[in-house]
Structure 1
Amino acid sequence: ASVPQQGTNVFNKLINGDKVSIIIGPTLSNTAKITDPIAQKAGVPVLAVSNTISGITEIGDYIFRDSLTENVVIPHTVKVAKQKLGLKKVSILYGNDDAMTKATYEVFKKVLQSSGIKILGEQTFAKGDRDFSPQLTQIKAQKPDAIICGALAEEASGIITQARQLGIPKTVRIIGGNGFNSPGLIKNAGEAAEGVIVGAAWNISSTAPLNAKFVSDYTKKYKHAPDQFAAQAYAGVQIAYQAAKASGGGGDRKALRDAMAKIRNLDTVLGRFSFTEGRDADHPSIVQEIKGGKFVVLGN
């Protein structure tokens, strides 16, 4: 549910009406901050598959996630980008009305500053905006080495396309986090997406057998390739299944929670997966470059 009140209603129904043993979701971090405490109080395990802001698992010991946080993904992204591109100065553009895009901005800013990379200026946009030319015109005048962008794929596609249309050259790389990791971005931005750098938790081109089968099956069923959120959701089901099997399959909520906390080195579409002691995802992040219309690993 994208509206927090709807999420609250759904969680109450699942917990008290349907008597579920585990909840996978919700999609947005904004919603999770309100709904997860309900599950924690009721002793129902929650497995977040797309929440990347900090503070989610701190809600309580029944809250888990398989999505790597921006705190894990972005420092690695900045490190690789600095090494490969020699970044010295950047401009920032981010969505200021969404928990995930704000978290992306906050982590990027902190890491850039600690890495000695100069921030020339900061611009914002709102969810649903279509015209980014005012912000990009200012950024063009700043002459950055790269544009750091906190956005989801839909807005990111427009930003990337309009940046190139305004004459910002491809030598000025556009760098994003988890929200950029969608085939839809490449499809919508087309040639303009070439050279974009994406910090992420999953690479669609991985030839690992489980991932290759997932990508093939998903594409056949839905007629388009999966994005990172689809992969994390599928991994969430794999993790929940393993916990159910390990706890005897009886559906006891505490037994499921305890079994999930013990998961280590489980083979999933995300790769070998473990939970940290704090119930966050523990697997390597990936830095990708869009090259030839595909996500190519730049560093891991």
Structure 2
Amino acid sequence: MRRRLLLLLVLTLACGAWGVASAQEIVIGLNAELTGSIPVVGQSSRNAALMAVDEVNAAGGLLVGGTRRPVRLIIEDNQDNPAIAAAVAQKLIYQDRVVAMIGPNASRDAIPAATIAESARTPMISPWSTNPQTTAGKRYVFRACFTDDFQGRVVASFVYNDLGARRAAVLYDVASDYNKGIAEIFRSSFTELGGQVVAFETYTTGDRDFSSQLTRITALQPDVLFLPNYYSEVPLQIQQARNLGYSGPVVGSDSWGSAEIITLGGQAMEGQYFTTHYAPDIATPEARRFIEGYEARYGATPDDVAALTYDAFGMLFQAIQAAGSTDREAIREALAQITEFTGVTGTMSFRGSGDPEKTAVVLQIQEGAFRYFGSAAP
């Protein structure tokens, strides 16, 4: 009997000790698209998240209330599925008790996850979701990227002023919030500039045959084709457009940002343009440090998702230390008080919302690589 009591006492003390150690950890969740239609996005986000957390832990952890505390990262796969993204958000918030959540990245996943985060009063930062609905009307949801209304205007201006196009055609995924939103903003902005959108064609996520839409587009002889679609879809769309006789320039948005688009599209991608968040070939000193560290660790140049994820963690780490607390409400308040943050993707200015004002860049695909072409500030 005494041995049993002694054993129970030892176990109780051990559990208590483990509880204290666990309580010192700062638990952060990553809600990422590790599988599904855009796995490269999730992998880039995961890589940058691990790098950011390892760096801060190597320095002793985050300084909170005078004490260095380690960060524990919980990574969950949302499978690029809106319903699963929402379920992952619920798990991270209610089961894992994270102090904040980074991601999702794709707007179609970020919007439902943001609804969960807002209702649970848990800070969320999406690295890559540009759709305005992600943060609209929300106090706890932030982003590290510009928004589609800004990006749509940038693309329209670039197409009208730099390419000299007056007749544009658009093909976009009507089932995806991101694609649909930026297509509509481009159309209104291009029209306001004096251009004409001669074709506004749609498809649905998962489609592989775009010949009907592209046949109609080609017949209208547009000056430019705008494809605000994901890297996994665009190469096939361009190849089919070329096969049907379209020979003009093709322009895309930040969803093109993975180098996988060149692997998939090959020569068909040569010379095309897209807007995005940063240009590795004109990196600032801060960005260069990140790029060199990422390349040393993973053997590849980080894409925009990786850079934005790293910035999202940087903002969150700054907020936690400024708050001096791991209370969710205190972290939200600290995030809301960030007026300017200098990260890998540039300087972000916040003006009373979770949406930063920042510069966009235009990249051109040249000799199988992304090259800086120009930039546009808000």
Tell me if TM exceeds 0.5.
yes
Name 1:298's counterpart in structure 2.
Answer: 373
User: Which residue of structure 2 lines up, in the alignment, with residue 56 of structure 1?
Assistant: 134
Distance in 2 (CA, whole Å) between partners of 1:95 and 1:9 is 24
The aligned counterpart of 1:20 is 98
- Of 240, 247, 253, the residue aligned with 1:162 is 240
The residue matched to 1:168 in structure 2 has which SS?
coil
Q: Secondary structure at the match of 1:127?
A: coil
Return the offset for 1:269.
1.0
Please list the CA deviations of residues 83-117 of structure 1 after superposition, one character each: whole Å capped at 9, or x if unmatched. Answer: 22211111111111111111121111111211111
**Does residue 210 of the first structure (1) align with residue 291 of the second (2)?**
no
C-alpha separation in 1, matches of 2:141 and 2:187: 28
Per-residue displacement from partner, 1:141-189 (whole Å, max 9, x unpaired)?
21110001121111112112332343322xx111111212221212221
2:346 counterpart of 1:271: yes
Corresponding residue of 1:140: 218
CA distance in 2, matches of 1:223, 1:127: 32
Q: Report if the CA contact (8 A) 1:36-1:59 is conserved.
A: no
Per mean C-alpha deviation after superposition, the further-off stretch among 192-201 and 122-131 is: 122-131
Cα shift at 1:134: 2.9
Residue equivalent to 2:255: 179
Whether 1:73 aligns to 2:148 is: no
Matched residue of 1:295: which SS?
strand
Contact 2:114–2:135, Cα closer than 8 Å, also in 1: no
Highest Rg: 1 or 2?
2
2:357 is aligned to 282
SS at match of 1:101: helix
**Structure 1 residue aligned with 2:194:** 116
Q: For the structure 1 residues 184 and 196, does the alpha-carbon distance in structure 2 shift closer, same or farther, using more than 3 Å as the test?
A: same
Distance in 2 of aligned mates of 1:260 and 1:68: 17
When normalised by structure 2's length, the TM-score is 0.73
Q: Does 1:261 align with 2:336?
A: yes
1:100 aligns with 2:100: no
Structure 1 unaligned regions, length at least 5: none
Q: Indicate conservation of the 8 Å contact 1:183/1:226, yes or no.
A: no
Identity in percent: 30
1:38 corresponds to: 116
Long gaps (5+) in structure 2: 1-77
Give how far 1:125 is off: 2.1
- Code of the aligned partner of 1:101: N
Deviations 1:30-80 (A, max 9, x none): 333323233222221111112111122124211111121111112122212
Whether the aligned pair in 2 keeps the contact of 1:73 and 1:201 (CA below 8 Å) is: no
How far does residue 201 in structure 1 lie from its aligned partner after superposition? 1.9
Q: Report the alpha carbon displacement of residue 227 of structure 1 after superposing the two structures with TM.
A: 2.3
Instruction: Quote the Cα distance in structure 1 between the aligned partners of 2:174 and 2:189.
Output: 19
After superposing on structure 2, the runs of 4+ consecutive aligned residues of structure 1 that deviate more than 6 Å are: none
What secondary structure sits across from 1:154 in the alignment?
Answer: coil
**Alpha-carbon distance between aligned partners in 2 of 1:28 and 1:80, rounded to the nearest angstrom:** 24
* Secondary structure of 1:23's aligned partner: strand
- What is the CA-CA distance between 1:223 and the residue it aligns to? 4.0
Please tell me whether residue 7 in structure 1 is matched to residue 85 in structure 2: yes
